[in-house]
Structure 1
Amino acid sequence: MCPGCLNRAQCLRTQLLQLAVPLVKSYGFTREALAQSALRLPTPHEKPLTEAAITALFGEGDDARRTLIGGWLEHARVETRKSLLADATPGAPPPSMRAVLEKRLRVNEEVLPLLPEAFALLASPTYGLPPLDPIPGLKHVSQVADDACYLVRDTSVGPAWFRRRATVAVAYGAAELHQLTSPNTAYKFLDDALSMTQKVDSAADDIGQYGRYIMKSWTGIIRSSGVLP
């Protein structure tokens, strides 16, 4: 494929993925949501994307669904930043960490019933063992933590920089897991999680312990979804 054709295909893929994100509320994290996105183009297609087109653009089988989940998570990051920056008053102090993480949890609410299965799919490796892959979970909560630290204008450097993001990621990951099963108490739980991680900040120095915590959380997500026993 020539560079020009490749760029056009990448642009189309990006555009369709962005158009598919709002369709998740109606179609879920499915290949059908990706198919229907073609009808929302500025010059709409006459028909939804074919299965062959979805595979060519987004991947085979569940890989296309994983691509859509990743697109939604990026959308959630952007929406959180936009909302907080829009609310900011020039010269005012930055928002609190609690306010930032609460805002991110609220973005989940529009598709909350769909997230357990989506997270379960992300944590299920495409090929082989182990049965659960913690990398998507680590990446997700780490990105949320990095965004949050930027928004609160965290000035940590050196080891403190990593420790701060690790503790925020642990607090957010725990609150998000709680939100999936008990949404009405998620924000109180967030307060407790932030308080706990601040008190035991030094525990985040042990990266192995951090990784095991996230792995345990994602195991809980998968089991609560009913996708895996």
Structure 2
Amino acid sequence: MATTNLRKQLLQLALPLVKTHGFTREALSLSALSLPNPHAEPLRDTAVSSLFGEGDEARRTLTSAWIDEGRTQMRQTPSLNVRDALHSRLRYNEPVLKLLPEAFATMALSSSSFHLIDPQPALKHAASVADEACVISGDTTTGTMWYARRASLAAIYSTAELHQLVSPKTAYEFLDSLLDTSTKVKNSLDEAGLFATYVAKSWAGILKSRGVF
């Protein structure tokens, strides 16, 4: 239990360090200096591995924690509608926008030497943002409408976030345009297989264009 609590505490303390140190093992190591009873020195690499995983696994752990914090920030935004909730989530990206392609690559790339894209982390991320936006807005749909609404918003948010990576200044306008034509987006993207393929190809294109792989 003590180890679990320490791990959670260090992850939270590492989040502000992402802005200056990226989604790195170094950020996790330095987080120990901000404990209520600070360590005299950063965590050793062996300690980082023990708490957060070997190699890139520690970076994935930090990225996942940062993504989770984004949903927490959404809940703290005074909003009663989906549009404001999704806007707030895009704003959360802004301080680390230049770091996100590499962070997303770490999450999405398989361990294979062929650098295969696994769309599941992207799908899970988009779905969780969509669900949070629905909860914030007080959405009370049930049954198939519940799934359709979230699938549509997941597609919209994922598309807007990918757009944000290449054109930050137009991201909010682009998101609004998708929300205003959500029926068209839903019809083209909410079927699971098509959405997964779309996300995989889009992430691959963005990451390759940034020279991540």
Question: When the two structures are superposed, what TM-score results if normalisation uses the length of structure 1?
Answer: 0.88
In 2: Cα distance, 1:125 partner to 1:193 partner: 30
Q: Which residue of 1 aligns with 2:179?
A: 194
> Which residue of the partner structure matches residue 157 of structure 2?
172
Which letter maps to 2:179? L
1:65 pairs with 2:50: no
In the other structure, the counterpart of 1:20 is 14
Deviation at 1:210, TM superposition (A): 1.9
In the TM superposition, what is the alpha-carbon distance from 1:204 to its structure 2 partner? 4.8
1:176-211 Cα deviation digits (max 9, x unpaired): 001011000101110122233323534455221122
2:148 is the counterpart of 1:154: no
Alpha-carbon distance in 1 for matches of 2:191, 2:207: 25
What secondary structure is seen at the aligned counterpart in 2 of 1:46? coil
Q: Distance in 1 between matches of 2:106 and 2:185?
A: 32
1:8-47 matched pairs, under 5 angstroms: 8-47=2-41
- Secondary structure, aligned partner of 1:60: coil
Contact 1:116 1:224 in 2 (8 A): no
Note the 1:81-96 alignment, pairs <5 A.
81-82=75-76, 84=77, 87=78, 94-95=80-81
- Please name the residue that 2:198 is paired with: 213
Looking at structure 2, the residues matched to 17 and 205 of structure 1 have their Cα atoms a distance apart, in angstroms, of 33
User: Structure 2 length normalisation: TM-score?
Assistant: 0.94
2: CA distance, partners of 1:171 / 1:123? 19
Distance 1:184 1:204, change over 3 A: closer
Describe the shift of the 1:169–1:158 C-alpha distance in structure 2 as closer, same or farther (beyond 3 A): same
Instruction: Name the aligned partner's letter for residue 35 of structure 2.
Output: L
Bigger radius of gyration among the two: 1
Q: Are 1:98 and 2:83 counterparts?
A: yes
**2:71 — aligned with what?**
77
2:39 partner letter: H
In the other structure, the counterpart of 1:91 is none
| Structure 1 Cα separation of the partners of residues 88 and 183 of structure 2 | 20
Structure 2 SS opposite 1:49: coil
Superposed CA RMSD in Å reads 1.6
2:40 corresponds to 1:55: no
Identity %: 51
Deviation sequence 1:94-118 (CA, Å, 0-9, x none):
22x2111111100101111111111
1:51 alignment partner AA: D
